[in-house]
Amino acid sequence: MVNTKREIERVEALDSLHRDVYKSNMAPYWAIDASSDHDEDQQVMDKRKAIPFSWNYENAIKPLLYRSAELIKMENSERRSLVLVNPGLAPSRATVTTLYMAYRLNDPTEIMPPHRHSPNAIRLGLTGNQNFTGVEGENIVFGPGDLVLTPHDTWHNHGNEGAEPAINLSVLDLPLAEALNSLHFEHDYTEEEEGVIVSKRMQSERFCTNYSEQIYGQGGFLPRFVSHQRGTGNASPMYVYRWEQMLELLDRYKDWEGDPFEGILIEYVDPLRGRPIYNTMTFFAQMLRPGEQTLPMKQNASILLAPLEGSGYSMIDGERFDWAPFDTVAVPGGHWCEHVNGSQTDRAILFVASDEPTLKTLGFYSKFGKTGSGEIVRLDR
């Protein structure tokens, strides 16, 4: 009876302690019993986690893009994008923990005014051959598969110079910038003309057409007669990566053995330093040959898959996610994932975004594979 009374008093005292702790804007970090609810390590982990998820382009994204284009015009808003929100992170506008993906439709001959922001961004052409992005005085017209950079704090504007609507997708490290309290946007673009500062809705062109390709388009050779300190100098100075060149590379490697866990994987890199184009995120083209299936792989980097060619599916912790061109699949870090090309005759090509550079810079990155016999091997060493 004494023990029971003492235990009741102890529980009541613990309840009172916990109430006072939370009331004081603190949290307990201790175990009071052996149940999973009071596991000491779980207590410090964020309960909101990105989950594996997919968005269908043809039946969901595309119809909503066209509906938004009918209702949202430049006179109302300088932006018209659909952000992919991971259900595990909602209402935060994040597709995985550190990355944000959005789709955008630009009406014919529609050019938005310049702006800049602290997050790094890329834009990938999906439809239309005359997508437009002006970056720090380099006017870039791009089409399907072309990758355009807008590094942090570079003035840029987006649009469409063609006579038909154009759709592209963008990836930003915005959730990471927000978590680090470094998120900001600017819209008051000005230039000096005859000694006077004037506001402008278009940047003056300061570089010749196809400047990025002319200066940086030949791997292994670097012109020394121009400055490579573009923007803030913290990203690749090559602002456009053409899909035609990537396709040539993929075709060149189509008969190579490839990697059993990732197939044929080619990374977009900074031509000056041979490292990822940004310090926070990196991008790949991943080819799966006809009928190819990768072995399961798990890494703590989060990735976003956007198929550009072919169809198939990914198995993420045993759950199947089918994909076709322009869909998006979110694979948060910490999940086993394998990819399957559903065709026995045609290749599949995926565009891949990853926060791997952030984890590597901080010394947190890890990557594992599961062999055909079920053995788990470390891949990042």
Dihedral sign of CA atoms 113, 116, 117, 121 in order: positive
Domain borders along the chain are: 53-378
**For 68-94, how does the pLDDT look when each residue is reduced to its tens digit (9 = 90+)?**
988 887 777 767 899 999 999 999 999
Does residue 337 carry a pLDDT above 80? Answer: yes
Q: 150 φ, ψ to 5°? A: -130, 85
Higher pLDDT, 275 or 43: 275
Structure tokens at 33: 């019993």
**pLDDT for position 329:** 98
**Using CB atoms within 10 A of its CB, is residue 346 exposed (0-12), middle (13-18) or buried (19+)?**
middle
**pLDDT for position 219:** 87
Does residue 2 carry a pLDDT above 60? Answer: no
**pLDDT for position 79:** 72
Mean pLDDT of 165-182: 96
Does residue 11 carry a pLDDT above 90? Answer: no
**pLDDT for position 43:** 62
Pairwise CA distance, residues 213 & 240, whole Å:
7
Does residue 29 carry a pLDDT above 90? Answer: no
**pLDDT for position 275:** 96
Does residue 42 carry a pLDDT above 70? Answer: no
**For 47-64, how does the pLDDT look when each residue is reduced to its tens digit (9 = 90+)?**
789 999 999 999 999 999
Does residue 4 carry a pLDDT above 60? Answer: yes
Mean pLDDT of 278-296: 98
Does residue 332 carry a pLDDT above 70? Answer: yes
Does residue 36 carry a pLDDT above 60? Answer: no
| Residue 202: its H or E element | none
Mean pLDDT of all residues belonging to the chain: 93
Mean pLDDT of 353-359: 98
Higher pLDDT, 292 or 22: 292
Higher pLDDT, 218 or 326: 326
**pLDDT for position 45:** 67
The domain 53-378 is classified under which CATH number: 2.40.10.120, 3.30.1240.10, 2.60.120.10, 2.40.37.10?
2.60.120.10
Whether cis (ω within 30° of 0) applies to the bond prior to 91 is: yes
**For 110-153, how does the pLDDT look when each residue is reduced to its tens digit (9 = 90+)?**
999 999 999 999 999 999 999 999 999 999 999 999 999 999 99
Pairwise CA distance, residues 342 & 339, whole Å:
9
